[in-house]
Amino acid sequence: MNVEPEQYGRTPSSPVLKVALVGECMIEMRGDPFSGISQTFGGDTLNAAVYLSRVTPSGRICADYITAIGADSFSDAMRQSWRDEGLGDQYVRVIEDALPGLYFIQTDPQGERRFLYWRGEAAARRMFDGPEAGAALQALADYDCIYLSGISLAILTASGRTRLMHALRLAREAGARIVFDNNYRPHLWPDVQAARQAYGDMLRLTDLALITWEDDAALFGYADTEALFHAYAGFGVGEVAVKRGVASCLIQCATGRFDVPAEQVQHVVDTTAAGDSFSAAYLSCRLQGGDPPLAARWGHRLAAQVVQHRGALIPGAAMPSLDMPSYSSAVEA
């Protein structure tokens, strides 16, 4: 990557930063069974890609989404929606005999959601299988920053995951920064041991970890955030931001530890994509030269707006302002 080890920002003479986001987009269905149902698209890394594109001024980054889709009309519409959001799709693979995955969201009165998935044969599972995947895997070394999640790892075939990890190692050796959002989903893994092994391998390649506390507590059994920070230092992760829902974000980085309060929301409608939007705003701020505490403020602000709307992707008109102020409300932990 064309930036220093602890610096994500650009200098005036720097070229536009190239960011690859790797994962799965699915058809999102919402409503009550055998009643009115709305349909759109979503997925953790796709949500992050869209929000990253929205909150980063034009000309600062070039964001490409890397995945696999089918040759059907839903896949075509999905791909067009990414283009409409300003995402590059040159490494989107089309698999003729596959379809996109599908999920159904149901929310309770408090806005907490329940997901039902149909994704076992989704095209994205095979995105890095076979010789056709070679171009996308090799291209990763050309990016300044690569973003993926625990779900990105979990959905792949075993061989696809192995090939991706190898490509990430080569990309990091070439200078890419690796950003990992843990998003642990137990049902996507054969057992917890397999997940721990894959996450451990991934974290040893990670520069910035965006962690949902509950997920890591479930996966690794950490008793508290101090144990998490100690473990991540052992993995060699230089920057860790721990997302804790309505509680503050805790950060460990080269300049210290910070505790950044969340923004309070009076009425939560739907928590879908709260973590994804936080991660996108955090990364956008860091790519533009903001420090970690400011990045967490951006994350909280966007997430607070997202949870007040239904669905993973809120209307463009509802996006909050994320001007880069000259102050930070973070306190050093």
Q: Which residue numbers are catalytic?
A: 276
* Token pair recorded at residue 138: 């090799």
Counting Cα atoms < 13 Å in the Cβ hemisphere of 276 gives 27
* Token pair recorded at residue 113: 């959601």
CB 114 within 8 A of CB 106: yes
DSSP string, 182-220: ----GGGSS-HHHHHHHHHHHHTT-SEEEEEHHHHHHHH
- Cα–Cα distance between 165 and 19 in angstroms, integer? 17
- Cα–Cα distance between 262 and 250 in angstroms, integer? 10
- Cα–Cα distance between 141 and 177 in angstroms, integer? 10
Query: What's the farthest any 2 CA atoms get from each other in the chain?
Result: 57
The burial of 84, by beta-carbon neighbours within 10 Å (0-12 exposed, 13-18 middle, 19 or more buried), is given as exposed
Residue found by looking up tokens 């001007």 in the block: 323
CB 103 within 8 A of CB 28: yes
